[in-house]
Structure 1
Amino acid sequence: MVDFEWYRSFISIFKQSSVSEAARTRMMTQPAMSQHLASLEAEVGELLFTRAPRKMIPTERGKALYTQVVPLIEALEETTQNLKSNAATSLPAIRIGAAKEFFREKLAPHIGSYQMRIFAYMGVASKLLDLLVEEKVDIIVMSQKISTPGIEYIPYMQEEFALVTPPDYSEPTFDELDVLEAWLCCQPWISYDFDLPIIRRFWREHFQKRPQTHPTHVVPDLHSVLTAIEQGAGISLLPTFMLDDHLSRNKVKVIYPSYTVHNDLYLAYQTKNRNLAHLKSLIEMLKKAV
């Protein structure tokens, strides 16, 4: 298969009448330029130049090939330059990673006001951090500060998780904490993970122990948890930023509002990029949207 670069080298040799001058023009080594020409001649099946002292003389086949390909190559290069020019004058692009629920509820409603093109990547914290380290994203929203060389974290916001139940759920009154815990342990819990990550945090904060319960249902994500609660499948802990519309339509309710748990969120990016204008601009806009 012919390599596009072989044609560019061929045209350069034709114009310069010299392999060395063509190599200098294309900022290549002379052996690499000679290899391009040899590969093209092998593909064509004929010599394209006669080698003379200090000069390359095109053969009739070389002249014919030049006439055929030069307008095509020049048109392609012009198109490439136009694309670069258009890209330079368009909105800057930035790649952002976040948990799916957070992006949907907190970021997606505002992307039209960011004055930049947003490319979103979803995943758990460890996956997002891998993408950042590999420079596949520019900035991520993280619920953990995982010490990683070259990665910088700044505080972003605090999310609150509340106990959410179906709207007709009974909310008994308890005078003692251990009785409340016992009642919660008897409820059908819905989680997005068998390890009960947020539920564990809630139990440690309020009861100073690991939860003595197991999930009745495990579903893929927090939006699935919310849908299951609306249908009466059980209770769970959900971030309050997901709940406004559902609470206003009486689809769910929050019980024991004084028993919540908070999660600190951070913005993370490559330390070497901290002064990039578009990154700094996005960080300011993200903070204003909180």
Structure 2
Amino acid sequence: MVDFEWYRSFCTIYKYKSISEAAKTRMMTQPAMSQHLAALEAEVGETLFVRSTRKITPTERGKELYSQLAPLIESLENTTMSFKMASLPTQSVIKLGAAHEFFSEKILPQLPKYNTCTLSHFGTAEQLLELLKEDKLDILIMSKRFPAPGIEYLKLMDEEFVIVAPIDYEIHEFDNLKLEEQWLSEQKWISYGLELPIIRRIWREHYKKRPEIRPVHIIPNLHMILKAIEIGMGLSVIPTYLLQDSLKAGKTKVVFKHLKVENELYIAYQLKNKHLPQFHEIISVIRETKMD
């Protein structure tokens, strides 16, 4: 007789293409997860996944079974949660986490739309994720996905980063990337950190190398970096959603518009809060936010 938990484990493995990640998500041991899969394959009489050294790939029979099971399991889980909701206390405060620059530009203007109280936290993605794991956050906006038991991610949007200079900065035009990269390396740079976050991404994606620059100023605040650019302190990399007012005011300009990179932003949350009404309300408002 088939155990319902075998089906749940199979669908989780299918979703993550990894037995170890599926085990973490279901808060099981990897051997137990493998046992569920082996038992289901024995019951079905066919192999459901092809194993390789790095990942597993569903067979045609596995794809067929998943397409049949996924909606049924989701329906059962939603039904269970609807019964559970009756005994859950309403959540009067939603605890939000984000980088303070993104919060200031994109979340703060939306707060009047929320019908619940909010408690906000700021910090790095790693710091805030720990708060989420400890139930000190309910919703986290972050640019990385760290696999963690009980945590789910929704794609929010893409943010675009460009190189920015003071409006009166003399920009040289070049007909080849090598001279362009050499000129950029000789300029004064302002960075968010010593490891040159995002600046390093631009160099790797466009010049296929690490940047050989030494920033003259380290300022771990994008608003302050933009202010420093406006008063002529140097160049830096800024997200376009933060840049619009400065461009319109004629205080800054984009350097070499082809040198841009994109970053994915995600909404992270605890699965156990997924069905709370206040949670859905705030998620829907955040997802309505569009990048300028």
Smaller-chain TM-score bracket: 0.5 to 0.7
Runs of 4+ residues deviating >2 angstroms? none
- Structure 2 Cα separation of the partners of residues 253 and 157 of structure 1: 24
- Structure 2 Cα separation of the partners of residues 184 and 151 of structure 1: 41
Which SS does the other structure have where 1:126 is aligned?
helix
CA contact (8 A) 2:229 2:235 kept: yes
1:246 aligned partner, one-letter code: S
TM-fit CA distance, 1:255: 1.6
Unaligned 5+ residue runs, structure 1?
1-87
Which SS does the other structure have where 2:179 is aligned?
helix
Determine the structure 1 residue equivalent to 2:181. Answer: 181
- Structure 2 Cα separation of the partners of residues 111 and 257 of structure 1: 33
Q: After superposition, what is the alpha-carbon deviation per residue over 1:138-162, rounded to whole angstroms, capped at 9, x for unaligned?
A: 0000100011111111100110111
- Structure 2 Cα separation of the partners of residues 171 and 101 of structure 1: 28
- Structure 2 Cα separation of the partners of residues 224 and 253 of structure 1: 16
Tell me which structure has the larger Cα radius of gyration. 1
Q: After superposition, what is the alpha-carbon deviation per residue over 1:37-77, rounded to whole angstroms, capped at 9, x for unaligned?
A: xxxxxxxxxxxxxxxxxxxxxxxxxxxxxxxxxxxxxxxxx
What is the root-mean-square deviation in Å for CA atoms of aligned residues?
1.5
State, as a whole percentage, how many aligned pairs show the same letter. Answer: 46
Determine the structure 1 residue equivalent to 2:107. Answer: 107
TM-fit CA distance, 1:182: 0.5
TM-fit CA distance, 1:179: 0.9
1:132-211 to structure 2, matched below 5 A, reads 132-211=132-211
- Structure 2 Cα separation of the partners of residues 219 and 252 of structure 1: 18
- Structure 1 Cα separation of the partners of residues 239 and 265 of structure 2: 12
TM-fit CA distance, 1:221: 1.1
Count of aligned positions: 202
TM-fit CA distance, 1:220: 2.8
Which SS does the other structure have where 2:159 is aligned?
strand
- Structure 2 Cα separation of the partners of residues 151 and 106 of structure 1: 23
Determine the structure 1 residue equivalent to 2:285. Answer: 285
1:185 aligned partner, one-letter code: S
CA contact (8 A) 2:110 2:285 kept: no
Unaligned 5+ residue runs, structure 2?
1-88
With normalisation by structure 1, the TM-score equals: 0.67
With normalisation by structure 2, the TM-score equals: 0.67
Determine the structure 1 residue equivalent to 2:29. Answer: none
